[in-house]
Amino acid sequence: MSKKMIIVGMLCFVCFISACSNKPETIPNSEEDKKVVETPIKDFSRIDKLVQSTEPQDIDRIVKVLFYESNNMQYKNTIAIDIGNNVMYLNPKVPTLGLVNADYKMTEDDVEKVQNIIKKYGIQSWKEDYSDSKNTNYEDGYGWVIYLEYADRTVERHSGSGMYRADVIPKNFDTFIEEITNFVDNKKDDLNE
């Protein structure tokens, strides 16, 4: 065999091993053979690359919440909560998420509060896309996105974008933003005391 064939064979073997290691691990001989071994990852920077979840899962399976708005190319109301690792970013910046450490350790009450907010506003029942399909030729404007990452490393994404904010948001959107940002702001105040 030539050296090229050996190298190609080794590369194929490495690719095969790598592909196998990216599949979720299952626990054999358990009550649920489909139960996934779950390890939350701290990195938010790859959340938009995760596989879309086929259906909403239980609230207690949410390991990350990432929300932000963009208005005229400026980010605002950025929320980054890592329930799986019990931490929260109090002043997250979208371009640096995943590159900096979280600055608040969450309690069980904090986790429950976040879960209750998601449930209260029915985030999981929001449409996937609220974008204004009539008005697609705009450079500036308004947009928002919320990612709910599940323990099985799938993601549920809801978003909207368009020229006018009122045209691209769900009915209870403003009260959701008010409650979730107040929750985070109260944690900032707690740290400053």
The Cβ of residue 21 has, within 10 Å, a number of other Cβ atoms equal to: 8
| Residue 77 backbone zone (phi > 0: left; psi -120 to 50: alpha; other: beta) | left
Please tell me the pTM assigned to this model. 0.76
Q: What percent of the chain has pLDDT over 90?
A: 52
Displacement of CA 59 from its chain's centroid (Å): 13
Q: Which residues contact 82 (CB under 8 A, 6 or more apart)?
A: 40, 42, 44, 63, 64, 88, 89, 102
In which band, very low, low, confident or very high, does the pLDDT at 128 lie, cut at 50, 70 and 90? very high
* pLDDT one-digit tens code per residue, 31-56: 443 333 344 455 787 888 899 998 88
Given a cut of 60, whether residue 66 has pLDDT beyond it is yes
* pLDDT one-digit tens code per residue, 145-184: 999 999 999 999 999 999 889 999 999 999 999 999 999 9
Mean pLDDT to the nearest integer, 122-144: 83
pLDDT at 17: 40
Given a cut of 50, whether residue 20 has pLDDT beyond it is no
Given a cut of 50, whether residue 27 has pLDDT beyond it is no
Mean pLDDT to the nearest integer, 73-102: 86
Given a cut of 50, whether residue 123 has pLDDT beyond it is yes
Given a cut of 60, whether residue 6 has pLDDT beyond it is no
Given a cut of 90, whether residue 95 has pLDDT beyond it is no
pLDDT at 1: 52
pLDDT at 53: 92
Given a cut of 60, whether residue 72 has pLDDT beyond it is yes
Given a cut of 70, whether residue 114 has pLDDT beyond it is yes
Mean pLDDT to the nearest integer, 22-29: 37
